[in-house]
Amino acid sequence: MCFEELLDRYRNNVEAFVKYKVSLASDRDDLLQEIYLQAYEKFGSLKDEEAFKAWILSIARNKVNDYYRNKAKELSVPLEDYIPTVSIHRSVNETVKETLRLLSVSDRQILYLYYWDELSLKEISDRLKLPVGTIKSRLHYAKKHFKERYPKEELMNKKMPEIMPEYTITYKNEKPFDTLWEELMGWFLIPKEGNKINWAIYDFPERKISETYEMKCEGKAEVHGLQGVKVEAIESYDKKQFKRNFIAQLTDSHCRYLAESHEEDGIQKYYTFLDGDDFLNNWGFGPENIGNETHLKQKGLIQRKANVVTTEGNKEVMDVVGRYEVTINGRSFDTVCLMDVCTYDEFTVSEQYVDRNGRTVLWRRFNKKNQRWLFDGFESVDEGKLKDNEKLIVNGEECVHWYDCISDYVL
């Protein structure tokens, strides 16, 4: 088989890999041309055509590494002018590094100078050409902001209740706040080393628990050269357990899945972001599977008044629609409501109430009425039982409340 035929067969895999690694489209195009040219020139050295995919992906990986090495040289600046990002502090505890990443540049700068460079307030004052009083005030607030962002223990080891706790959702006529939402789409867990969580699904109107999930991050992992975290998920339902593993990646702006594996008919199956629709249809989110955005703010893509929702022609869209107080299990949470209209599938609408810590307090699923209930095992859903459940009118179609999800974060 000639080079062109092999390249046509695996071109999508190469392009998907480069898109995951390089965000700037113009740079991606240049890189792809370099990759294809080098592959063409070295094709004669390839002894086994069956190894072409792995071979050309290794060329792509090396080209991407060269790209970032060159970028690092272009962007290098003198140390005294450098406001550090947490990625360079290899000796710092991972949790501290992640917390620093959440802070403003100003906060990171003052903490770095005070704790890592061990400069006095006067020395920092001289360095930044600011009064000592200003430096003292900035340090106070930077420490305060760090403490607020430093994560609490993720897992409280609380058993999920058999019956969904009573809750109220109250609209607040106030501007929705921005928040950093780093959870895996649909799975409640923030994919950082050491994090754990339990969560459950409750069917309505009975409010009875139907599925539980125990999740934990087990350490660093790599998929096709991309760094992520391995996540174990144990699903329990109908007195059976099912184990699934993910590789997930959290960046400065998005959270996404890189790979998924599970056992089926005694065979362990693996899917990665290079496996096309087999992976993307289940675990892909956002344009080119960039993932779900972590910086939540209202964009005005969805309009909601009471139970009426419109999306102005956007058939598939996700956006913050308002600010709400959610009281559940005796606790009150100030939240924004993140609505998902059909981005998961054409029949599904959901409400996700996210607090200032970027944690999901309550997730509620609605299905379009008189549409088939998707996925194997759900065809037997009795819509008659749901007739008195809450309804939403979404772009003129009635959607019926089906089930809710909560995690031990609210217990």
The per-residue pLDDT for range 285-294, each reduced to its tens digit, is 877 788 889 9
Q: Is the pLDDT of residue 94 over 60?
A: no
Q: Residue 71 is part of which domain span?
A: 3-75
pTM comes to: 0.66
The reply to whether 299 and 181 lie within a common domain is: yes
The reply to whether 131 and 200 lie within a common domain is: no
Is 39 within the bounds of a domain? yes
The reply to whether 209 and 96 lie within a common domain is: no
Rounded-to-integer distance, Cα 146 and Cα 101, Å: 10
Is 26 within the bounds of a domain? yes
Q: Which two tokens stand for residue 51?
A: 């190894």
Summarize pLDDT for 133-158 with one digit per residue, the tens: 999 999 988 888 887 776 654 433 46
How far, CA to CA in Å, does 275 sit from each of 15, 57, 67, 69? 12, 14, 25, 28
Rounded-to-integer distance, Cα 131 and Cα 159, Å: 53
Last residue of some domain: 149, 176, 204?
A: 149
The reply to whether 233 and 266 lie within a common domain is: yes
The reply to whether 35 and 173 lie within a common domain is: no
Is 293 within the bounds of a domain? yes
Q: Which two tokens stand for residue 311?
A: 């999306």
The reply to whether 51 and 108 lie within a common domain is: no
User: How many structural domains are present in the chain?
Assistant: 3
Last residue of some domain: 75, 106, 124?
A: 75
Sign, CA torsion 15/17/19/21:
negative
The reply to whether 369 and 243 lie within a common domain is: yes
The reply to whether 142 and 42 lie within a common domain is: no
What is the widest separation between alpha-carbon atoms in the chain? 73
Rounded-to-integer distance, Cα 406 and Cα 263, Å: 26
Beta bridge partners of 118: none
Rounded-to-integer distance, Cα 105 and Cα 109, Å: 6
Summarize pLDDT for 342-400 with one digit per residue, the tens: 887 777 899 999 999 899 999 999 988 655 444 434 555 566 677 788 999 999 888 88
